[in-house]
């Protein structure tokens, strides 16, 4: 083999190597560009796909045994059990039963307190919950204020 043949093969090899490195770099940086999505509870604890969401600091409404589908995507759905742990009203009972939480539109967030304080994460901007009501049946309620967004700077 002559010098010219070796030079052509080396040039092709170098060009292929440069092309593969150029294509690989954006793929890895694109995966790292979006921070993970968290749910931030009232005490500031940020958690991915939480197993429980509590709506008050003390006894009160909560959804437990939550199982999520699509967590981290533009829309996620969680199914769990709704209950109220505070005493029921006189001559009444607290509702308990299946609940569904739908959250969507992850947005950038830098929490002002809690276990992710000062770190860039994402939280869901909107959320609603289908829960049982004391009169029977179920109703949708807006729970966007409980996703953690109010803790963001």
Select the more confidently predicted residue: 4 or 108: 108
pLDDT above 70: residue 97: yes
Mean pLDDT of 121-147: 95
Count of residues in the chain: 153
pLDDT above 60: residue 9: yes
Select the more confidently predicted residue: 7 or 35: 35
pTM of the complete model:
0.77
Instruction: Please list the residues that pair with 35 across neighbouring strands.
Output: none
- Helix and strand numbers (H, E) in the chain are 1, 8
pLDDT at 34: 86
Q: How sure is the predictor about 70, in pLDDT bands with cuts at 50, 70 and 90? A: very high
pLDDT at 16: 55
């Amino acid at each position: 083999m002559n010098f010219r043949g070796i030079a052509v093969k080396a040039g092709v090899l170098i060009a292929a190597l440069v092309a593969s490195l150029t294509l690989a770099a954006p793929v890895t940086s694109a995966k790292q560009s979006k921070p993970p999505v968290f749910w931030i509870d009232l005490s500031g604890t940020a958690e991915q796909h939480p197993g429980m969401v509590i709506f008050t600091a003390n006894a009160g409404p909560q959804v437990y045994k939550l199982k999520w589908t699509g967590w981290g995507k533009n829309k996620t759905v969680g199914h769990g059990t709704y209950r109220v742990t505070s005493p029921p009203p006189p001559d009444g009972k607290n509702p308990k039963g299946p609940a569904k939480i739908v959250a969507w539109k992850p947005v950038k967030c830098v929490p002002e307190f809690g276990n992710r304080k000062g770190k860039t994460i994402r939280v869901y901007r909107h959320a609603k919950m289908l829960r049982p009501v004391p009169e029977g049946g179920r109703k949708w309620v807006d729970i966007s204020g409980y996703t953690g967004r109010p803790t963001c700077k």
